[in-house]
Amino acid sequence: MVAARPPRFALFDKRGWNTMISETLGRGSPKLPPLRKDRAEALDQTWLETFLGNFIAHDPANRLEPPYAGEPIYQAPLIGFVRGDAPLLETYKELIGPFHHTPAEVMAWAAKEQGVKAPAANEIGVVSFVLPLSDATVTDTAAEKIHSSARWAQTRLFGEICMRKMMQQLIAELSGMGILAAAGDFMPDFRKRHFPKIGWGSPWSHRHVAFAAGLGGFGMHDAFITEKGCAHRCGSVVAAMPVKSNRERLPHYRHNCRQHRLGNCMVCAKRCPIGAITEHGHDKEACSKYVMKSIPRNIFGNKVAIYSCGLCMVGTPCAQKNPMEDAK
């Protein structure tokens, strides 16, 4: 079933405004579903992989709307696991900031909400997933020079809604089996803020969790480069169930970046219309200001109320693959 066409004037489409408010102000996060306290089923990681794969393959939320009705937003997910007591996740309080939550803190909040005892850190697992964008969305935006394509703008909105629905349903399934589960960006204190040390950040970074889970590393554009490239969105769910790592973490956080390894790239910098990417890194302040200016264009031109850009993530050697595979 294809979702309904957005209102003719996207200015009045609540989905986009609710998404932006949730991301920037931390309002509107879903409540945790009731936890079945009379059950405590044991699950293996294969169940989690199957659930996420089936959702992307079959759920109608993974579809664009007119004029691209029926087109999938995401391709099959990449999935990684990391223990809740992994030292790197604690180190993020130093590398990112003391405001960044650990899986144990996410579970402590969820346990308080559910009226149960919080699990120990070694009893917690995190499932991290990367959702590669469709070929059509990547190709469309790679042809753009100043603004993201209409497909990309739709993907930025409906892809976020799809991902959050998937996390909500996974949390609900686990809760129904008696397994405490939550998402770091569903916590009431989650919102984007400007911090003195790092600039724009939030109390839970799906990309940094993905790095800890061995799914890839960061480029000069700050995008997360996986075996399927950096044109994707990623998410994660924390649960009171031990897991084993299924991927080897990279030796350096920029290990998949061609510029970092070989020094002969910087295509992402050339793609940026405002010069926010240099050999020194990514100017998140300038980037954020430019992205916010896209809202009127998306509302009146692309018929979705959302901000978007993504030009540095496509038309590059790392858009849909790990560029270092070619270097080998």
Q: Is residue 27 part of a domain?
A: yes
Q: Is residue 1 part of a domain?
A: no
Q: Is residue 145 part of a domain?
A: yes
Q: Is the pLDDT of residue 191 over 80?
A: no
For helices 135-142 and 150-176, angle between their N-to-C axes, nearest 10 degrees: 150
Reported as a pLDDT band with limits 50, 70 and 90, residue 195 is: low
Q: Is residue 52 part of a domain?
A: yes
Give me the number of domains the chain comprises: 1
CB 320 within 8 Å of CB 133: no
Query: What's the domain range around 220?
Result: 10-327
Q: Is residue 4 part of a domain?
A: no
Dihedral sign for Cα atoms in the order 250, 253, 256, 259: negative
Q: Is the pLDDT of residue 230 over 50?
A: yes
Q: Is the pLDDT of residue 7 over 70?
A: no
User: Residue 128 forms beta bridges with which residues?
Assistant: 80, 236
Q: Is residue 3 part of a domain?
A: no
pLDDT in tens, 13-57: 778 777 777 776 665 678 899 999 887 778 899 999 999 999 999
Q: Is residue 21 part of a domain?
A: yes
* SS3 state of residue 237: strand
